[in-house]
Structure 1
Amino acid sequence: MIEIKNLNKTFDEKQVLQGIDLVIEKGDIYGLVGVSGAGKSTLLRCINGLELFDSGTLMVDNVHVNRLTNKELRYFRSGIGMIFQQFSLLERKTVYENILFPLKCFKSKMNNVDQKIREVLELVELTDKIHMLPRQLSGGQKQRVAIARALIMNPKILLCDEATSALDPNITQSILELLKRINRELGITIVVVTHQMSVVKEICNKMGVLSSGKLKAAGPVQDIFLNTPELLDDFMGEENYRDGQSDQKKTKLEIILRSGENDQILSKLAIETGVQFELVWGGLNKYSDSIAGALMIRVRDEEYALVEAYLNQHRVEWRKV
């Protein structure tokens, strides 16, 4: 669906995107994460042609974005919906008129426009707000209107730029549930730019980590969190449990628990081997619709071989830290 190869972009002689290679497949909910200035929003704007880039290739649905004429680019953008942190609604227009606005901008000749607007309002659960003005809506309701507006052109792709950053946790959760429903029922590919790790865990099946304009890691969300968590420490605001403290008489092991695996492994390890260990860190997290996590233990060197043998025998994924 979206294929990016060796993409580079500069602003005022500063390189903001460097050698980006990324593939987003049809049906993905793909998260782009990074601190402010990492380049994630710029990359998002390159995808829909709002930003030009210096070199490399960017294809969306087999279309080379950088080869489009202005007229072709306008048509291309009509197939990509976008929602923002600040909603960007027309304050003097009703909900109905805000949703209608893209159709007017693109001079669309869609049949049954009124019916279509009412359908998207039903999808976002705002049918009773159809004639209200934005000032009469809550923040969550405004974002639902923005989503409905993005959907009115029947896009194949929905780009979300910090779409939940201005919302409280409960409203954020409801918006994420709505986005998952849109992805599931309409088959729309969604790209989410966010600095909120909770959003990535909740909604995304894949993610890319950007830092200083470079893509540091990309792949399934669980793999990134479990295999390269050090890349995410700055974003998560959590203490780095890889504390680097040396202990000559004990060894640290990290046990990986993927979706559907036995999260009682430590209890069984202790009971069946008699090994006494310290739990250094542990946590299970919800990733979209599955549960996974990691546990770190410290064992005495003389018992390390016993623990290693037990984990291998039970086909538990682990690594020495």
Structure 2
Amino acid sequence: MIEIRNLSKTFDGKQVLQGIDLTIDKGDIYGLVGVSGAGKSTLLRCMNGLESFDSGDVIVDGVHINRLNKKELRYFRSGVGMIFQQFSLLERKTVYENILFPLKCFKSKMNNVDQRIREVLELVELTEKIDVLPRQLSGGQKQRVAIARALIMNPTILLCDEATSALDPNIKQSILELLKKINRELGITIVVVTHEMSVVKGICNKMGVLSGGKLKAAGSAQDIFLNMPDLLDDFMGEENYRDDTSHHQKIKLEIIQRNGENDDILSRLAIETGVKFELVWGGLSKYSDSIAGALMIRIHDTELARIEACLDKHRVEWRKV
């Protein structure tokens, strides 16, 4: 679907992307994360030709973007939807007219335009607002209109640049649920740029972590969170602990819980082994039908065998730190 090969870009003499290699498969909800200035938004805009690049290649559905002329690039962009943190609605136009706008810009000759607009409004659950102006909408409703506008051209890809960062938590969750619905029902590949780990945990099946214009990690979102690479420390709040006490071990437990399996593993350890241990750090998150995360405990060397036996009994993945 999207293949990026050795992509590099400089801006005003500064390297903003360096040697990026990334593959996003059809049907993914892919998160691009990193602190401000990491290069994630620039990378996203390279995917639809809004940003040029110095070297490398961006291939979308077999199309090499950097080989397109202006006319071809314009046509290519018609198949890629994009939503932003700022909703960018036309304030003097109704919801209906805002959704219609891309069709006018691309001079699309779509059949049954009125029916199509009503279909996307129904999808984003905003049919009753069809004739109102943006100033009469809440922030969440405005973002729903922006999503409907991005969908009107029947895109195969939807790019989201910090699309939920301006929304309060409850509204944010409803927008994330809408994006999952769009991915599930329409089969649209979604790429999400965010600095919020809750967004990635909530909807992304895969993720890439950028820092200083370089891709530091890429793959399954669950695997990256479970492995807790140091580059995620800033996002997850995990500190680097150093054990100054001799004769103690720190064990990191990697938890995947489905249908109650490994439910409350700390209680199981305490009750079944009788060992007293210290919880150093912990973080568990919900991923669709499972709960996954990591816990770090500290125990005395003499208790290690009993803890190991209990963990193995319950098939909990673990490792010493």
Q: TM-score, normalised by structure 2?
A: 0.96
Question: How much does 1:127 deviate?
Answer: 0.8
Aligned structure 1 segments of 4 or more residues deviating by more than 6 angstroms: none
Contact 2:262 2:314 in 1 (8 A): no
Aligned to 1:253: 251
TM superposition score normalised by structure 1: 0.96
Distance 1:148 1:318, change over 3 A: same
Within 5 Å, give how 1:88-99 maps onto structure 2.
88-99=88-99
AA matched with 1:116 = R
Q: 1:138 aligned to 2:138?
A: yes
Aligned counterparts of 1:168 and 1:206: Cα–Cα separation in 2: 24
Question: Would you say 1:273 and 2:273 are equivalent positions?
Answer: yes
In 2, distance between residues paired with 1:167 and 1:66?
A: 35
Q: Deviations along 1:90-115, whole A, 9 cap, x unmatched?
A: 11111111000000111101000000
Measured on the aligned residues, the alpha-carbon RMSD in Å equals 1.4
Partner of 1:178: 178
Deviation at 1:244, TM superposition (A): 2.0
2:79 maps to which residue? 79
How far apart in 2 are the matches of 1:173 and 1:131?
A: 26
Question: In 1, distance between residues paired with 2:242 and 2:126?
Answer: 52
1:146 Cα offset (Å): 0.2
Q: Deviations over 1:44-94 (max 9, x none)?
A: 000001111111111111111111111111110000000000100111111
Q: Which runs of 5+ in 1 are unaligned?
A: none
**Residue identity in the other structure for 2:97:** E
Partner of 1:196: 196
Identity of aligned residues (%): 80
Stretches of structure 2 lacking an aligned partner (at least 5 in a row): none
SS at match of 1:100: helix
1:312, CA displacement in angstroms?
3.4
Matched with 2:106 is 106
Higher mean C-alpha displacement, 304-313 vs 91-100: 304-313
Quick check: 137-146 or 294-303, which moved more? 294-303
SS for the counterpart of 1:8 is strand
Give the letter aligned to residue 59 of structure 2: M
User: Does the Cα contact within 8 Å between 1:206 and 1:218 map onto a contact in 2?
Assistant: yes
SS of the residue aligned with 2:122?
helix
Query: 2:49 maps to which residue?
Result: 49
Cα pair distance change 1:259/1:222, threshold 3 Å: farther
Letter in 1 for 2:235: F
**Alignment-derived partner of residue 320 in structure 2:** 320
CA contact (8 A) 1:29 1:190 kept: yes
